[in-house]
Chains A and B, each alone.
Chain A
Amino acid sequence: MFINRNSIKLNNISMGQYLLSAKYEFNKLWGSDTGRNLKGSFSGTLVGIYPKITLTFRKLTQTEMNLIAPILDSGSQSLTYYDPSTNSNKTITTYSGDWSYENKQIMTKNESFSCTFISRERRA
């Protein structure tokens, strides 16, 4: 993979060591005027492209979980990621989706789990 996983930082904490994988999505949001014009062509305003990054964490220790969980629980996060369109690292403010983890046995580590981070702002 050409993306260095160490490029992903949550609240300025490098997530590389905790991650199994990262999924990058770049979603388009269309304006309220979007539709077909009188000519029949699809027209509208592209409000912006909003990056959505899904991080899959490996099994985390309790200490690691104590570090990560508050970040996932907070209303917004600062997320740094490698943006292929600009070939540079970008830092965005995100809100996160629900997350959960599972302990199959009483062990020192939980099972792997995922959480989604969506940019509050459109990509510049």
Chain B
Amino acid sequence: MKAHTAGFKNTVKQLGRKIKGIITYDDVTLEDEIYSITPHYEGAILKSVMKQLDIEITNDIPIGTILNCQIGILVGNDYEMLNFGNYIVYNSEKQEDKGTYKITCYDKLLYSMKQNEDMHITYPITIKNYLNRVASMIGLTVATTSFYNDNMQIQGELYLGLEYTYRDILDEIAQATGSIICLNENDEIIVKYPTQTNDTIDEDFLKDVNVDFGQKYGEINSIVLSRSGESDNVYLRDEESVTENGLTEVKIVDNQIMNFNDRSDYLQGILHALDGLYYYINDYSSTGILYYEVGDLYNVQVDNKTYQCLMLNDEIEVTTGIKEQVYAEMPKETETDYTKADKTDRRINQTYLIVDKQNQTIESVISDVSEQNQKLVTMQQSINEIDAKISDIADVTTSDSTLTGTLEMDSINESEPVKIEIHPTGQQISQLIIGIKTIIGNNAILRSRTLRFTNLTTNEIFNYILPDNLFYHDSENYDTFTLEYEGQICQVEKKCKLENGDIVLLDTPVITNYPYPDIHLTTGDYRIELVGYTGYIFARLMCTNIYTEQFATKVEVTSQINQKANEITAQVSETLTNYVTETQMTSAINIAKNEINLNVSEVNTKATTAQSTANNAVTLANNAQASATNAQTTADNAQDELDDLSENLTTNYYTKSETSSAINQKANEITSSVSQTYSTKTETTQAKNDAISTANANTTQVLQSYSTTEQMNSAINQKANEITTSVNQVSSRTTTAQNTANSAVSKADNAQDTADDALSKANTAQSTADTATTKADNAQSTADSATTKANNAQSTANTATTKADNAQSTANTANTKADNAQTTANTATTKADNAQTSADNAQTSANNALQDIQDTNNAITGINENIDDINAQITDLVEQTTTFSTKSELQQTAESFEASITQTTETLTRSINGTQSEISEIKNYIHYDIQDTTGTLTLGKTDNPYTLQLTNHELKINENDNTVAYFDEDSMQVTNGVFNTSLAIGNFEFRPETNGSLSFTRRLS
């Protein structure tokens, strides 16, 4: 609560209060420039609260300016101002329609609205020191020296690297300390708790609209710390308050400071801070309270009901009046299932999930520890791995003990006793009844030391005779029988002995082992008893449970346990992507990781390969292009050769038909020749004959050249061979040419194929090249664009630099001018002061002169009146002149008139002079005001203390401006009166006599 006087509280609610708002910063004080001031905040318990200030003002205030706000009420003769603290100007907005500025400011908690950085803290650190460190990081200090949980330890870094602002951290500290964190008037951080002000406001403070007081919140009596999606809760309750008032819990969710298993240590402090806190939900408009602060508990009295309220949200709008809007809402209700919550995390049985945001790990633990079982499932997830462990240790035995010698145990499995321990508790467990000087005789009765197991389900009885007596000496010393299955131990530890009928202690205990008995119990409920004795029995037997229902032996049980554990493991493993062990899990993760790496590597390789392929493609394309060119050249050459060959063949060689034709031609030529020589058959015959004859003749002649027929045949054959040879040569050459042509065609085809391939590759290469070109173009475009932008940026930067330089220069100039202006202003101020003084003097002189002028004017008025009189006289004279008929008369009259005027003027001058002096003299004795409607005439010299005033309805005699006597209507009033001779009233009078007496007589008429 802001410090204020009782007068303030009394005045602020009164009609006609006067308010004032002041904004100050640097050397500037703003008051008349302010249109409105609106400080406001929205708070909550367990939060940090930043205050805001909105100002509407005619002057702009530079952003970043730190200003102070005060609002006050006129109490008595002085304004009592309340300090609303310092604020940082965060935003300024010109409201063009109003010509004002809307300034938005926040208190210095604004500095906390930035992401946290390394605070260079050595851990562990107390919350108090941690808060100090946070404060120093944002340039503030902490004023509160002690608060709840201030000595709790933070073990390590919590927020670094996480997107937590310092404000977020302050919020979590507020939760951990059960407080509200805000700033005081000195801009120091305070850790504040709801504070009882014991102040009450009544209906005088409330407007007659919008006044709501709702249900009661609280009393707070339970604190719940929650994490893991509000599934992992620990709590502390004020059970007495819960019983009395019902449950009201405050749940704190996912607080990083209270995220570990020491979190229940915080509960006590937080509950102390908030236990019993209650307030009424409220929403009301006030005519102005002004002095409450966030976290203040106060009372509102309405209709004889009193509501305790907690100030959480407040908005004070100060314009020409004050309107204060206050509200406190119902906190978000939480309902924790306490059956699933615990009071501490430090229990044997644990179920928790810790989300460590700092280390980016999630640790979950489920443990169930009982006498017989210990099950534990832990899982730790980090960014790189999941570490899961499941352990299941089951004890399938059940134990019980008794001091009476008899006990019952249910659901015993078919087995041997796991452990039996027996010792006497007073009565000796002995075959003999131990008494004083017992004499063992024939009639002595031996009692059995039977340990009996009775199956109550089947009524089977299993007896075991203890191998030795068990004596009792005192509560510390007695014999003990032990049967232990695991070690196959059956023994009696003797500390006592029977000596002369008395039980005495042995010097040292003696342990005697006995053969391990065979006690096979069947399934059922059992009674175990020392028949006929009382004493201590401890028994641990195999019990029936989920593990033993199917298997009887320990080995089987153990095996089953292992199987169950494996099943659980397998199930969990199945859930965890079918990995059984941690190693496998890690391995699998590593494999996956390697696969990812491999994939990445493959991608890289493929990218490299693709690049290489592309490069090769380009090379191949180039080569293909070259090859294509070469192939084209080769093909062209081949074509040329083919053409040459074809031409050669065409030119120099015949085709087979041509050859045949040629042969035929030759033959025809021959025939023709023959025909020409032998035209008809007859002729031919003749010719033939002739020829034959000739031939014969020639033959004969030839034959004469050839000696024999063989020679002839030989010659013919030679010619035939020659012809055949020629024909063969032609045919061979034709075949060769054909082969050559075919070869050329084949080569051409190959060349064509090669060319096609090359063309395809070239096309591909062209496509690749086009793609590369496109990409290159795009890259070039992008680069150009980037260059352009860079150039633009450079240009802009240059422009900005230039402008900055200009601005700097302008600022310097302005600064210089401002200095000059300041100097000029100072000079002007001095001159103005001098001028003011001169003006004041001049004013005084002017006033005096004005008064003189007024007097003169009055005089002139009188003169004017005289002139009017003269004019009237002149008018009369003129009128008189009309009665004269002759010139001489006129002349005389004119002269007389002139003389009269002259005389009159002289007289008038004298009269005026006399009048002025007379007027001055008269004014010393007679005063009257022409404008005064009372018509007051004052007689008496100006400096005379006595004056006589006559008004429209009274006559007054004054002494020193005090009326000492006056006549009003028909009566006279005199302050003091002295009558020397007589005082007459009507027909009577008072008269002093010469003898000193006073006579009252009737007056003589």
Contacts and interface: CB of A to CB of B under 8 A. Distances in A.
A39 B204 CA distance: 6
B79 to A, nearest CB: 12
Nearest to B843: A12
Contacts of A23: none
Nearest to A14: B847
Interface in A1-26: 12, 14, 17, 20
Contacts of A36: 208
B320 A45 contact: yes
B323 A38 contact: no
Interface in B315-369: 319-323
Interface stretch (B13-21, B110-118, B869-877): B13-21
Nearest to B319: A32
Contacts of A41: 15, 204
A47 B318 CA distance: 12
B18 A45 contact: yes
B302 interface: yes
A41 B19 CA distance: 19
A37 B323 contact: no
Interface in B275-324: 287-288, 302, 319-323
Contacts of B850: 14, 17
Contacts, number: 77
B854 interface: yes
Nearest to A17: B854
A30 B211 CA distance: 23
B321 A45 contact: yes
Classify chain A's interface size. 20 to 34
A32 to B, nearest CB: 4
Interface in B798-847: 839, 843, 847
Contacts of B319: 31-32
A46 B73 CA distance: 11
Contacts of B323: 32-33
B207 A37 contact: yes
A40 B850 CA distance: 58
Nearest to A29: B320
Contacts of B13: 37, 43
B98 to A, nearest CB: 16
Contacts of B204: 37-39, 41, 43
A91 B322 CA distance: 30
Interface string B540-571: 00000000000000000000000000000000
Contacts of A58: 931
Interface string B771-801: 0000000000000000000000000000000
A30 B243 CA distance: 53
A43 B15 contact: yes
A39 B839 CA distance: 57
A38 B16 contact: no
B574 interface: no
Interface in B375-416: none
A97 interface: no
Contacts of B302: 38
A37 B209 CA distance: 8
B208 A31 contact: no
A17 B208 CA distance: 54
B208 A37 contact: yes
Given A17-B850, A31-B321, A43-B13, A38 B206 contact: yes
A33 B850 CA distance: 50
A53 to B, nearest CB: 18
B202 interface: yes
Classify chain B's interface size. 20 to 34
A48 B321 contact: no
Interface string B895-934: 0000000000000000000000000000000000001000
B854 A32 contact: no
A40 to B, nearest CB: 8
B211 A44 contact: no
A111 B633 CA distance: 124
B205 interface: yes
B582 interface: no
A35 B207 contact: yes
Contacts of A32: 319-321, 323
B913 to A, nearest CB: 26
Given A45-B320, A46-B16, A46-B17, A33 B288 contact: yes
Contacts of A12: 839, 843
Given A17-B854, A36-B208, A43 B847 contact: no
B203 interface: yes
Contacts of A27: none
A48 B205 CA distance: 21
Contacts of B321: 30-34, 44-45, 47
A37 B287 contact: yes
A14 B452 CA distance: 133
A40 B202 CA distance: 12
B203 A43 contact: no
Contacts of A31: 19, 319-322
B58 to A, nearest CB: 14
A42 B931 CA distance: 46
A33 B203 contact: no
A24 to B, nearest CB: 18
B14 A43 contact: yes
B202 A43 contact: no
A47 B20 CA distance: 9
Interface in B24-45: none
A30 B320 CA distance: 8
A46 B18 contact: yes
A46 B19 CA distance: 8
24 contacts: A12-B839, A14-B847, A17-B854, A29-B320, A30-B321, A33-B321, A34-B321, A36-B208, A37-B204, A37-B206, A37-B287, A38-B207, A38-B302, A39-B203, A39-B204, A39-B206, A40-B208, A41-B204, A43-B14, A43-B15, A43-B287, A45-B17, A47-B321, A58-B931
A-B pairs, 4 with minimum CB distance: A33-B321, A31-B321, A39-B203, A38-B203
Given A37-B205, A44-B15, A45-B17, 13 more contacts: A14-B850, A31-B320, A35-B208, A37-B203, A37-B206, A38-B207, A38-B302, A39-B202, A42-B15, A44-B321, A45-B18, A45-B321, A47-B18
